[in-house]
Structure 1
């Protein structure tokens, strides 16, 4: 089998807790490799190509989409996993699947669906990811979903840390509310141990997501012209890198300057995570992945200096990119598209494809609302725009 893990705390595919529906092993692939392949071949993964990261797809061919972002996260996750002696295929599976539940139009679509489902528990993209891989994908004769291993499902749900305490009470972002319906319902059937931390591989995928966001949103912001390289010069880490680039390449043209900046940001962040994670793992000295799950804190992360730099970059990007007037204007229109589609399908469910209505009980308002949300969440940007035109007779500019 490919990718034998080296470290004692790594996840061993030969010792996987298995799948909800038992399947015979593959003669040529580990269980974690099969998970990667199933995600890659899923319809939800293909649709990421036309789902917004920050800029709507038709604004330019060079901006990130959810798919290109996912591939970049996967590359970073594998780099970290390889250096730490982990199961690279499990880190890849966690990275490949982490955004499958995202709606069209990025977080704008998620906000709109969350409002539409306010009376039914709201919308959460992590819970939607779990629904995609355990229910909504219908490719196999013997089960719904992709029937991924317990370890991959754990990583998709818990990559940012435990969701409950040992008594089952929600913690962190869910402390003020109940757990998302999709996660709570599935966990009652297939216990993902929501009180524990995820594997080292899933933690590597989570920090890879942060690294990709920081570096590539800087790149997209520079390409879009919403800020300049000179605007970044007072940010920690960025300031040092810009000085190094000026020393090494004093007459570098602006496009190459931007690419050199992004490349060095990614490299230094990966190297910091590897060094800091090795220090944490050495201090913990875990003998197994169980010790990692029960450590009570993450074993993969930035050093204190790089954690501060990460926060500073995000604090810069929030007003200068994510809340920029140009982006907000488009995202406000995009939210309206999603809300109007939801309202239309509530009024006329028959406007949805018949298979989305086949097993709904008459008068089941909750079931209908959740089914509509599933349908809309799976749409690409361009499909949502097309449905808006077909059903409502208008096409938003989103420019």
Structure 2
């Protein structure tokens, strides 16, 4: 069994300091601040949520989506925290609002590692390595190959949060172990995944030791080599994400006139039993959507928190099956499933969106073809004088320290993926045009 004493560790990765904090601002609250002030988080404002490169400023980006998910996770964490405190299940050093702060910080960062163009960017990276000439992967181990062939934004996010490049010291942002464990949705490496068919994992081979350290400090149950049971608060973060994108995708669809408001209303109404008369006389669609969203969120937060408390023993034993929303009573789970199904069929496959995603594949392919050829040349070189002019310029672009001469090929590829994943949609498109132009001269 896992226990809250270890699961809610206030100690920081890469630091010996383990104080909860003082004056009401705990280490968990500081985690949120460190993430939100980071340049990686700021760049999410120009990264795709669902609709790539939207011209309508009301449409969600990764940044606005992440902020909303963090709000929902905070509310559920607070509800759960108070319920656990009432049951005397929290350790002495933890207050109820600390669970809110941990959930909020983990949710804020949940998409921080995603490459440009949303999930299309992930698929494009995987496909390039799958179709690349054998010379690009031949020097790598099976585990390293798995990282690239099943590239995951979640693993890239854990790397970003913990990599020394994001801070002066070891541990990167030096977040608390509790927040990091709550962030890791898939606490295993690609080659050690218990669900290889899902192609989901939470840490590259290079970060496997840090994953093990997080698991050790927080007491995550081991399921094998570099494979662990989820931290219970992961389920709150996951539920907050599902709730937001299931509902907000449809709202964005309405804003873009891809979906009729009636669809949204028909989904939500079965879950609401106290609709005031004023609602039926209201003519403004935005005001009606705001009302429905507020009511459904209130019910969902309470029902999801109830499900968490009802399944606390299974969560601590690492035996929870499926997502937390699957265990929610009432019509909420069915509503979320129908909303996600509608989005996948009517919004995600919208023709304009598909056209841009096809372009995103071409964009990522150009970048990887250029940068990975350079990585192979750098790996084989013994001095800077051996590099071609083009490879030297690419090395200057990405960073000489990140692409050391005769560096390990796997490490060079990860540095390239750091660079590409950090790009906004706009920057990736502009750089691709520049590179494409130089290739044509």
TM range (shorter): 0.7 to 0.9
TM-score, with length taken from structure 1: 0.81
1:74 touches 1:95 (CA, 8 Å); kept in 2?
yes
1:21 aligns with 2:15: yes
Quick one: structure 1 residues 219 and 369, their matched pair in 2 at CA, closer, same or farther if it must change by over 3 Å?
Answer: same
Counting only pairs closer than 5 Å after superposition, residues 1-399 of structure 1 correspond to structure 2 as 15-16=9-10, 18-23=12-17, 25=19, 29-85=25-81, 86=96, 87-118=99-130, 119=137, 120-121=145-146, 122=149, 123-135=151-163, 137-140=165-168, 142-143=169-170, 145-158=172-185, 163=188, 169-172=192-195, 174=196, 182-191=203-212, 192=215, 193=220, 195=223, 196-232=228-264, 235=267, 238-240=268-270, 248-252=278-282, 253-281=284-312, 284=313, 292-297=315-320, 300-301=324-325, 302-303=327-328, 305-347=331-373, 348-349=390-391, 350-351=393-394, 353-354=396-397, 356-358=399-401, 359-362=403-406, 364-393=408-437
TM-score, with length taken from structure 2: 0.74
C-alpha displacement at 1:71, in angstroms?
0.6
> In the aligned structure 1, how far is the partner of 2:409 from the partner of 2:192?
28
2:303 touches 2:328 (CA, 8 Å); kept in 1?
yes
> In the aligned structure 1, how far is the partner of 2:254 from the partner of 2:10?
43
1:11 touches 1:201 (CA, 8 Å); kept in 2?
no
> In the aligned structure 2, how far is the partner of 1:366 from the partner of 1:12?
34
2:235 touches 2:324 (CA, 8 Å); kept in 1?
yes
1:212 touches 1:266 (CA, 8 Å); kept in 2?
no
1:52 touches 1:66 (CA, 8 Å); kept in 2?
yes
1:70 touches 1:96 (CA, 8 Å); kept in 2?
yes
C-alpha displacement at 1:384, in angstroms?
1.0
Larger-Rg structure: 2
C-alpha displacement at 1:178, in angstroms?
9.3
C-alpha displacement at 1:241, in angstroms?
5.4
> In the aligned structure 2, how far is the partner of 1:363 from the partner of 1:200?
39
Look up the match of 1:288. none
Quote the RMSD (CA, aligned, Å). 3.2
2:52 touches 2:353 (CA, 8 Å); kept in 1?
no
> In the aligned structure 2, how far is the partner of 1:275 from the partner of 1:24?
31
> In the aligned structure 1, how far is the partner of 2:75 from the partner of 2:210?
34
Deviates more, 1:384-393 or 1:36-45: 384-393
Deviates more, 1:19-28 or 1:205-214: 19-28
Quick one: structure 1 residues 33 and 353, their matched pair in 2 at CA, closer, same or farther if it must change by over 3 Å?
Answer: farther
Quick one: structure 1 residues 108 and 246, their matched pair in 2 at CA, closer, same or farther if it must change by over 3 Å?
Answer: farther
2:121 touches 2:361 (CA, 8 Å); kept in 1?
yes
Q: Residue 117 of structure 1 aligns to a residue in which SS?
A: helix
Look up the match of 1:5. none
Quick one: structure 1 residues 342 and 355, their matched pair in 2 at CA, closer, same or farther if it must change by over 3 Å?
Answer: closer
Query: What are the ranges of 5 or more consecutive residues in structure 1 without an aligned counterpart?
Result: 1-7, 285-290, 395-399
> In the aligned structure 2, how far is the partner of 1:67 from the partner of 1:108?
17
Query: What are the ranges of 5 or more consecutive residues in structure 2 without an aligned counterpart?
Result: 82-95, 131-136, 138-144, 374-389
Deviates more, 1:258-267 or 1:91-100: 258-267
Quick one: structure 1 residues 144 and 303, their matched pair in 2 at CA, closer, same or farther if it must change by over 3 Å?
Answer: closer
> In the aligned structure 1, how far is the partner of 2:194 from the partner of 2:211?
20
1:222 touches 1:229 (CA, 8 Å); kept in 2?
yes
1:198 touches 1:293 (CA, 8 Å); kept in 2?
no
Quick one: structure 1 residues 307 and 241, their matched pair in 2 at CA, closer, same or farther if it must change by over 3 Å?
Answer: closer
